[in-house]
């Protein structure tokens, strides 16, 4: 009788499993941070991961290479890269979220680091919390991981290193009686004085910058561990001593002729490649632009950036840099997270492959130990520039960009245009702060 009763119970249990589904333990994949996403394909089903990113020679190239590496181990997965300008990504993201049409978003998007906090805080439900995805975030540079961490949750997989560098034409410096060492570990005052000598003896300004662009000013700000928003995210323009020194320095660069302003990005690139100027100062991704002029191989050098005079000033900063996020509406969230974890968060081969042709430096720490990073670069006089830049990255002061970072940058860009044209500093900065505070609803 007991055996018959047990058989009946087992039969009922099997039928129940057949119609309701059984598993060992619970797999509530809709919960934030789950390794498996609701509605995702099985590991054997064909999967296409769509990715939005910009710059064919840099980001798109890196993502396509990552796709090739991942497909070798997962032949059912295809990565489709859709070249999309950063401004368009931001616009499409905002439109999709505010209109409730997140199904128009791809599986993965690339986002500028300076926009991470704003988008994650404003649209937390738009992105997958990757904290418990299995991605080894402790294998990345801490300052990069921190940029995509909100309320203790990690949303972004760091990609390129935005450590700032100064690239200089060593042959032109030599004509003026200088070497690269003369521009290493110096102040902005020294940079300008030496730049005047270079201009006088060679006719070449040291730098160019897109008129109205705040990029160089923000680079200076971060080198001192300061920003244009305070710790509470409020506008910090009028009584910001570091900002005052930054703008005074920029004005002196322009008026002295050591820096020449250009109209747009294309002219900026052209000024570097055509030797209109003798150098470039930007995130280390500018290496790809500099090396595109193959006839100038052996004539360039890389060093750190000048520092301001205040007590917290350093010769290290960051400009640009970006990270990958998985969109929450993706039907393949688990595959997307696994893909990023195995490639950008787990493949030294990926970074070794993309480094020589794109100069895409990793913030994935194991990649920095690769022999590829120690290879002398003929274009830069045989210098091991990637080891040098990796060291710079470890010394970059960390700042909090805040939610209104882009609005603040735009306000500073408008202010510097007025100041260079002759508007009084206090007037221009006061107007900029009022405009930002209006946008912030303060």
Write out the chain's pLDDT in tens, 442 residues. Answer: 333 333 433 333 333 333 333 333 333 333 333 333 333 444 678 999 999 999 888 899 999 999 999 999 999 999 999 999 998 999 999 999 999 999 999 999 999 998 998 899 999 899 999 999 999 999 998 878 988 999 999 999 999 888 999 999 999 999 999 999 999 999 999 999 999 999 999 999 999 999 999 999 999 999 999 999 988 888 999 999 999 999 999 999 999 999 999 999 999 999 999 999 999 999 998 998 899 999 999 999 999 999 999 888 999 999 988 999 999 999 999 999 999 999 999 999 999 999 987 878 888 989 888 888 899 999 999 999 999 998 898 888 888 888 888 899 999 999 999 999 999 999 999 999 999 998 887 6
Which residues are 169's β-sheet partners? 300
| 244, HSE (Cβ side, Cα atoms, 13 Å) | 10
Q: Domains, the chain, ranges and CATH?
A: 47-162+320-369 (3.40.190.10), 164-319+396-440 (3.40.190.10)
Rounded distance between C-alpha atoms, residue 6 and residue 132, angstroms? 41
Q: What is the pLDDT of residue 7?
A: 40
**Strands 259-262 and 149-150, sheet pairing:** unpaired
Rounded distance between C-alpha atoms, residue 329 and residue 102, angstroms? 6
**In the block, which residue shows the tokens 């670069």?**
377
Residues 6+ apart with CB under 8 A from 251: 419, 420
Q: What is the pLDDT of residue 24?
A: 32
* Phi (first) and psi of residue 181, to 5 degrees: -60, -30
Rounded distance between C-alpha atoms, residue 32 and residue 154, angstroms? 11
Q: What is the pLDDT of residue 43?
A: 61
Q: What's the burial of 202, exposed, middle or buried (CB within 10 Å: 0-12/13-18/19+)?
A: middle
Residues 6+ apart with CB under 8 A from 191: 183, 206, 258, 306
How many other C-beta atoms can be found within 10 angstroms of the C-beta atom of residue 330? 24
Q: What is the pLDDT of residue 38?
A: 39
Q: What tokens does 324 get?
A: 């990958």
By the 8 A CB rule, do 419 and 191 touch?
no
By the 8 A CB rule, do 301 and 381 touch?
yes
Cα angle at 297 between 364 and 372, to 5 degrees?
25
């Amino acid at each position: 009788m007991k055996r018959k009763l047990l058989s009946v119970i087992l039969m009922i249990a099997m039928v129940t499993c057949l119609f309701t589904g059984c598993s060992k333990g619970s797999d509530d994949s809709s919960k934030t941070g789950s390794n498996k996403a609701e509605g995702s394909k099985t590991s054997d089903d064909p999967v296409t991961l769509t990715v939005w990113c910009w710059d064919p020679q840099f980001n798109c190239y890196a993502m396509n290479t990552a796709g090739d590496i991942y497909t070798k181990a997962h032949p059912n997965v295809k990565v489709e890269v859709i070249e999309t300008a950063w401004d368009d990504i931001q616009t499409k993201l905002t439109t999709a979220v505010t209109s409730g049409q997140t199904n128009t978003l791809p599986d993965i998007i690339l986002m500028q680091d300076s926009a991470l906090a704003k988008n994650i805080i404003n649209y937390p439900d738009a992105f997958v919390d990757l904290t418990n995805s299995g991605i080894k975030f402790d294998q990345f540079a801490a300052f990069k991981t921190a940029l995509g961490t909100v309320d203790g949750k990690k949303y972004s997989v760091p990609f390129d290193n935005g450590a700032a560098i100064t690239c200089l034409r060593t042959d032109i410096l030599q004509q003026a009686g200088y070497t690269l060492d003369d521009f290493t570990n110096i102040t902005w005052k020294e940079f300008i004085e030496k730049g005047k000598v270079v201009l006088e003896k060679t006719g070449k300004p040291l730098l160019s910058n897109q008129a109205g662009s705040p990029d160089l000013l923000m680079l200076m700000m971060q080198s001192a561990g300061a920003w244009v928003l305070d710790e509470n995210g409020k506008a910090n323009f009028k009584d910001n001593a570091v900002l005052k020194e930054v703008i005074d320095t920029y004005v002196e660069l322009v008026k002295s002729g050591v820096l020449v302003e250009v109209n747009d990005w294309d002219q900026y690139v052209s000024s570097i490649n055509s030797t209109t100027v003798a150098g470039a100062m930007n995130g280390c991704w500018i290496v790809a632009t500099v090396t595109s002029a193959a006839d100038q191989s052996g004539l360039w050098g890389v060093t750190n950036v000048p520092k301001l005079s205040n007590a917290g000033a350093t010769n290290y900063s960051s400009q640009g840099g970006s990270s990958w996020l998985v969109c929450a509406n993706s039907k393949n969230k688990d595959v997307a997270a696994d893909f990023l974890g195995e490639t950008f968060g787990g493949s030294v081969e990926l970074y070794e492959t993309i480094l020589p042709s794109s100069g895409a430096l990793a913030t994935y720490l194991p990649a920095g130990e690769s022999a590829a990073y120690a290879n002398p670069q003929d274009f830069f006089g045989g210098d091991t520039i990637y080891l040098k830049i990796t060291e710079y990255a470890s010394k970059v002061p960390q700042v909090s960009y805040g939610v209104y970072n882009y609005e603040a940058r735009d306000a500073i860009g408008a202010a510097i245009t007025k100041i260079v044209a002759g508007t009084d500093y206090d007037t221009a900065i006061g107007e900029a702060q009022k405009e930002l505070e209006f946008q912030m609803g303060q």
